[in-house]
Amino acid sequence: MNISRIDKAVATLREDQTLADAAQVRHKDVDILLPSELCPSLRLLARIATALLLRCFKGAVRVHDPMPDLDLATQLETEARRAGATERLVLHSLTTGPWRLALGQEVDGAVSADASGWTARVNRAFGVRERAAVPAIAFAAACAVAKLFDYAIRGADRHLFEAWDFCLLRFQAGDQKPLTAEADVHLGRIALLGAGGIGSALGLILALSEWGGELHVIDSDSFEEPNLETCVFADIADVRRPIRKALALANAFQGHRIHATERHCRLKANDPLLKESWDAFLCAVDNLETRLVLDDVNAAILLNAGLGATKADAGWVLWSQHGKGDHRLSTLYRDGERIGPVGSHVPNDFVEECSRMSYLGVSLALPFAGLVAGSLLATSLFRRATGRGVETTLMQLDLLNKQQCVTLLTPRRP
């Protein structure tokens, strides 16, 4: 059943009576407010924010740029085309509404985002801005859009203007001097299991970076219509064909320093892929069974990311890494993969038992949560490739509440 994952998320969070009610509340125009001087980092921040807003909302995305920038306009038009929403992108707008996102600056009444080096900043701006790493830019955009989305959809304003910094390279919150972003890095031989919401987000970040490497995209599914909203790197042309998600993601790296290959398969226990030698193996799937067979993958490091799937854990992001001496991935999921309890609300559209099961079987996916997960995975690849380690092996982040209450743990195998 082609249920919009975002409509489902909204209906679940708000307990809407129908999916049509959930869809209607997403029809809001959003304004992107830009400073008069733009650098490459701010252009990229605007591009990623636009990709998210066009998917999360159904109204216009209006761009306010005091000094029109041809390079920026081209980037934003590319994202609007990919999302199949060219008619909803308004450049050089003079109209401003209540839902506003300020980039690289602070504006009264607007949620703001910025990035410098490896530091993402929400609801504050940098006075002096270094060249920002792509994962930090994506992380900042996703956290800010999450706040705006929660406010516009649920009226949740308690933490709307919470100001916080997060250094992705250090895995630390708080005001610290931003670390310099490096471009010339080879990530090694990487397996990406899953080309859906998280895998697509990781693909976007890697494609916008200048890093090199060998990427193997493992997935057996083809695009369905709802994937256009949840996969932030999806192209409407690929979704309409439709082609396999892994193939579309691999094709996006043509001419890039990362050489990408599709591995068309559904991974199971004892699959030969698990025996191949990997510098890093990334788990970006949303099913419990697959995660439980990855403990013995032949990789220097196993990286995992998961998203909340119920009203209780909507907006949650889970990240974990598993190397020698760390806890095994199966220990996180052996009792089930949900972070919170399963909710009971089902819209009235689904009145029969079989219909309710169809609704409950559809994942609750929010693209800004997928992008935060992709940012953490991309940073982990960079850290491994450059020999930078962190003590943290488990991280949880709630994007729809107080974001700076990050849970960082270092559980070890007994």
Position 84 scores a pLDDT of 97
Instruction: Please state, in angstroms and rounded to a whole number, the distance separating the CA atoms of residues 365 and 371.
Output: 11
**Residues in the chain, total:** 414
CA dihedral 128, 174, 380, 129 (to 10 degrees): 0
- Please list the ranges in the chain whose pLDDT falls under 70: 1, 334-344, 411-414
8 Å CB contact between 19 and 240: no
Q: How far is CA 413 from CA 4, 294, 296, 326, 338, in A?
A: 40, 16, 14, 5, 22
Q: Tell me the backbone φ, ψ of residue 47, rounded to 5 degrees.
A: -65, -45
Position 183 scores a pLDDT of 76
Cis amide leading into 242 (omega within 30): yes
Position 370 scores a pLDDT of 98
Burial label for 186, CB within 10 Å (0-12, 13-18, 19+), is middle
- Strands 394-398 and 407-409 come out as antiparallel
Give the up-direction half-sphere exposure of residue 216: CA atoms within 13 A in the CB hemisphere: 18
Instruction: Please state, in angstroms and rounded to a whole number, the distance separating the CA atoms of residues 133 and 118.
Output: 5
Instruction: Please state, in angstroms and rounded to a whole number, the distance separating the CA atoms of residues 55 and 50.
Output: 9
Q: Tell me the backbone φ, ψ of residue 333, rounded to 5 degrees.
A: -125, 0
Position 414 scores a pLDDT of 47
Tell me: the pLDDT tens digits for 287-325? Answer: 888 899 999 899 999 999 999 988 889 999 999 999 988
Tell me: the pLDDT tens digits for 181-203? Answer: 877 899 999 999 999 999 999 99
Q: Which domains does the chain have, with CATH numbers?
A: 5-173 (3.40.50.720), 186-409 (3.40.50.720)
Quick one: which of 316, 296, 300 has its CA closest to 308? 316
Q: Is the dihedral of CA 141, 145, 146, 148 positive or negative?
A: positive
Q: Tell me the backbone φ, ψ of residue 187, rounded to 5 degrees.
A: -80, -15
Q: For residue 4, what are the contacts with CB-CB under 8 A and spacing of at least 6?
A: 19, 23, 226, 229
Distance between first and last Cα of the chain: 44
Position 354 scores a pLDDT of 84
Burial label for 175, CB within 10 Å (0-12, 13-18, 19+), is exposed
E strand map for 310-375: 316-322
Which amino acid is it at 93? S
- Strands 30-33 and 100-103 come out as parallel
Q: Please, what's the largest Cα pairwise distance for the chain?
A: 61
Instruction: Please state, in angstroms and rounded to a whole number, the distance separating the CA atoms of residues 9 and 310.
Output: 8
Structure tokens at 62: 């209006």
Q: Tell me the backbone φ, ψ of residue 316, rounded to 5 degrees.
A: -80, 145
